[in-house]
Structure 1
Amino acid sequence: MSTVSGPVQTQVPVVGLFTGQHVLAEFAGIDASLLDDELFLRRTLEHVLDQAGATVCEVSSKQFEPQGVTVLALLSESHASIHTYPEIGALFVDVFTCGDRARPELAVRLLAEALGAATVQTKTIHRGWETS
């Protein structure tokens, strides 16, 4: 009779690459009415993420009083968020996508165009393992 000691090893299928891009951005010079329009921001974020190749699973948002909106998008690839400051015409954007199919930098650029941002500052952080 044969016995096996120690933990049982199972193979977990690899479904994605452990790599990603995390784009952090600040936009300024935006019309305050756009930054306080929850429905517009939800639709616009979802549209630009789709255009950039991301898979949007769900979008959630919160309208704040007296002003400001936060929009969160759950992606198959990870997440995206917008936090607005209508009183100063600015917002923060955060788009993180795992793998190499979605293009978070494109999503941020398209969002800046859709909002008519006068200034855009971005920083891209490469995360995970490098792929060849």
Structure 2
Amino acid sequence: MIKQKQLGNHLLIEYYDCDSEVLKNTSLIEKHMIEAAKIAQATIVESVFHTFSPWGVSGVVVIEESHLTIHTWPEYKYAAVDLFTCGNTIKPWVAFKFLEGKLKAKRADLTEISRGIVDRILEDNKNLL
């Protein structure tokens, strides 16, 4: 199968049976997400994280190449993560494996989506002219 030229790559990740204490710790989750961006060779712009009551974390690391997000449910030992990267220098698969280890996930499901298929974009633009 020939891979089409795309603008971005989006990894949708489900981490199961994680360490609940890690998933509750907002500062630790932010630290891991920032480190994941760095080891993926992304350029960090800003990070914002929120702690829910009684527990759970949502956060985003905005990168020049798009974003990394996380939402945790410590009571279910579950985390949902999106790694959306543009360009061909970023390594989201490295970030995926890093986070799997840091969250102490026993299992992970991953869906990869190509974003911005160039042929489709150009076809759409022809219809606008």
Q: TM-score, normalised by structure 2?
A: 0.84
Q: How does 1:89-100 map to 2 (within 5 A)?
A: 89-100=77-88
How far off is 1:18 after superposition? 5.9
Q: Quick one: which of 60, 66, 75 aligns to 1:78?
A: 66
- Find the structure with the greater CA-based Rg: 1
User: Which AA in structure 1 matches 2:62?
Assistant: L
Q: How does 1:1-132 map to 2 (within 5 A)?
A: 19-129=7-117
Q: Distance in 2 between matches of 1:31 and 1:95?
A: 21
Q: Distance in 2 between matches of 1:117 and 1:18?
A: 30
Q: Distance in 2 between matches of 1:114 and 1:126?
A: 26
Cα deviation, 1:7-33, whole Å, max 9, x if unaligned, reads xxxxxxxxxx96110000000111111
Q: TM-score, normalised by structure 1?
A: 0.82
CA RMSD of aligned residues (A): 1.6
Q: Hey, which of these two has a bigger chunk of helix by percent? A: 2
Identical counterparts, % of pairs? 32
How far off is 1:56 after superposition? 1.1
Q: Distance in 1 between matches of 2:107 and 2:69?
A: 18
Total equivalences in the alignment: 115
Structure 1 stretches of 4+ with a deviation exceeding 3 A read: none
Please, which runs of 5 or more residues in structure 2 have no aligned partner? 119-129
